[in-house]
Amino acid sequence: MKTEFKMEDSELLEMIDIARAPSIPVMLIGGVSTGNEKQESANNFWKRLGEKYKFKCDTVEAAPNKGYNFFLAEPTIEESKKSKPTENIEVAIGLLAEVLAATDNPKEIKKLLHDFLDGVKLNYGIEA
C-alpha cells in the first residue's frame, strides 16, 4: 500500500533542475550505450530520496490534488513495520481494559486511569 511523502523545497528544485537539463542523444558506441545521463540522474535522485524517507524508489507516483512536493510510494519494510500512533493507543487501551477487568479496587482503578490519561497527554498531545 502506498503512503504519502513530502519532499523538501530544495529537493523539488533539484528534481526540476534534472528535468530541465538538456537531453543528450543516446548513442551506441562499440556496444556501449551513452547519453542517458538525464534518466540516470532522475533514477539516482529517487534512490537518494527513497533512502532518506524510507520508500521504494521504483514505486513513486504523483499524489493527486497535492502540491509538487507530495508523492506516493510504497514504504520500505522497515518503515512499514513502524506502528502508527493510533495503533499504539489502541494497544494501550486494550491493555488498560484487561488490567481494569482484573481488579475491583476503586483506588487502583482510579490510579490506572490517571496514569493512562497522563500517558495519552504526554505521548499524543491529546487532552483526554
Mind listing the pLDDT tens digit for each residue in 61-102? Answer: 999 998 999 999 999 876 555 545 555 666 667 767 776 777
pLDDT at 126: 56
0.75 exceeded by pTM:
no
Q: Identify the residue with better confidence: 93 or 47.
A: 47
**Dihedral through CA 97, CA 99, CA 102, CA 103, nearest 10?**
-100
Element (H, E) at 84: none
State mean pLDDT over 36-65.
Answer: 91
Q: What CA–CA distances, in Å, run from 44 to 6, 15, 40, 53, 98?
A: 18, 11, 6, 14, 50
